[in-house]
Amino acid sequence: MAFYYEEPSRTFSEYLLIPGYTSEECVPDRVSLRTPLVKYRKGEEECPITLNIPLVSAIMQSVSDNNLAVALAREGGVSFIYGSQSIEDEAEMVRKVKKRKAGFVVSKANLTPDNTLRDVLELKENTGFSTVAITENAEPNGKLLGIVSSRDYRVTRMSLDTKVAEFMTPREKLVTADASVTLKEANDIIWDYKLNSLPVVDDNDHLLYFVFRKDYAEHKEYPLSMMDEEKRYIVGAGINSRDFRDRIPALIDAGADVLCIDSSEGYSIWQKRVIEYVRAEYGDKVKIGAGNVVDKDGFRFLAEAGADFVKVGIGGGSICITRETKGIGRGQATSLIEVAAERDRYFEETGVYVPICSDGGIVHDYHMTLALAMGADFLMLGRYFARFDESPTNKLIVNGQYVKEYWGEGSNRARNWQRYDLGGKNSLAFEEGVDSYVTYAGSLHDNVEKSLYKVKSTMCNCGVTSIPDLQKNAKLTVVSATSIVEGGYHDVTLHATPGMSVNNP
């Protein structure tokens, strides 16, 4: 006879946190959201990779490219570049992130001395950059011959056919720094020489980066940035269980800091084989997450296989129709509670702490706090990040409202059959995701800051100032359908203001 769970599987919306004692120490500015990304052993001073905020972006075409990876790393989280693309293209995205040292910018506007003022103006209009590097071959890392900035020309007094060589600031008049310069030293040079930008060159005078005066303030604005020892942004990458023997070496060579197997269901021989390959080839040097699972057996299987973190959740994503299509999955809250308990048992038995990632089911910001209280070490979000300027999708106007495109990896649009690989044919037999729109929400920075302030505020209401304390001391209660209704506005008529819907504020 089949096994039946006595309790129904529940979602985050079926729970509420109970307030705890709030002391003078419990203020949002004192709350730390630092949390482990990968496993570590009891007694180790520090986890090999620690997130400064408990957010990572989903391994999806419509979410995680190199632009969002940089934006999220600045905030203190990590993106996992989507793997449903060619090995070369994914590796190049990783490489672009690793080239973006904090405060060091690879030139995006480049010309040669033979170009004209017309070319400069067109480049400025197309890219928005007013500082143009003049190199031998117009490549961002070519030999530096000069710089053109808005101070070097006057459109009203010059012919558009004037050669760049005639008005650029030549190399011999430029103040530069060598490759060993630190960000602090670069900023000191900028201030000492009253520069707007400082070119950084190698021993052969090839341009490596620019450091801009305007970026000094930006660097101060992002104190939680996730950076490696060389001050490059940390980035993850998704892999599959088919071409991993070719994809993993390419991603490691490109500089990926952490990998994650992208699969709808992780309790499988296929994931074990991928992890075994990584351990055989790279030992513990390469960090790799696995999943997804929904119970203690799935977690234990992947932890014993050697996973550095385990993702929890099947069918809870806003664009996922796995439960509807296949009748398989589990409520996200119930899954998380069971897996978190097993993670703690595994830690007690082995002394190895394997972080768990809650993937799916986040509808409202308060669900983030609930997920952390239920034991998640960090959260993987798709729809949340797809709404922002930095995501790779188009911004459109639909029914008079700005939206962004968002589609599932199991949709016909993505056709990411590898994610649902069961060792069979190399194609997508049926859809497990939909193609949709999400309401445009603006910049990642503004939204993440607001969401995490809510998390910190709620943690203070619970009387805690760290995620481990929240997991240890939180009190949660199941709520009835009636109390869910009671929790929203009721028995009133809202004032309708311009741009606000009464039903969807």
Spot the catalytic one: 26, 47, 260, 320.
320
Kindly state the tokens that stand for 419: 């994610």
Nearest in space to 431 (alpha carbons), one of 314, 505, 321, 340: 321
Spot the catalytic one: 300, 419, 460, 462.
419
Instruction: Specify whether the CB–CB gap between 445 and 3 falls below 8 A.
Output: no
Is 345 in the active site? no
Is 462 in the active site? no
d(CA 277, CA 306): 11
Nearest in space to 378 (alpha carbons), one of 60, 63, 127, 55: 55
CA dihedral 461, 463, 468, 472 (to 10 degrees): -100
d(CA 229, CA 208): 18
Instruction: Specify whether the CB–CB gap between 382 and 53 falls below 8 A.
Output: no
**Residue burial 201-226, b: 16+ Cβ < 10 Å; e: rest:** beeeebbbbbbbeebbeebeebeebb
- Long-range contacts of range 265-268, CB-CB < 8 Å, 24 or more positions apart? 265/292, 265/293, 265/314, 265/328, 266/290, 266/291, 266/292, 266/293, 266/298, 266/302, 266/310, 266/311, 267/293, 267/297, 267/298, 267/301, 267/302, 268/241, 268/422
Residue 3: how many other CB atoms lie within 10 Å: 4
User: Would you give the distance in Å from CA 288 to the centre of its chain?
Assistant: 16
Nearest in space to 255 (alpha carbons), one of 232, 273, 278: 232
User: Which residues are catalytic, by number?
Assistant: 320, 419
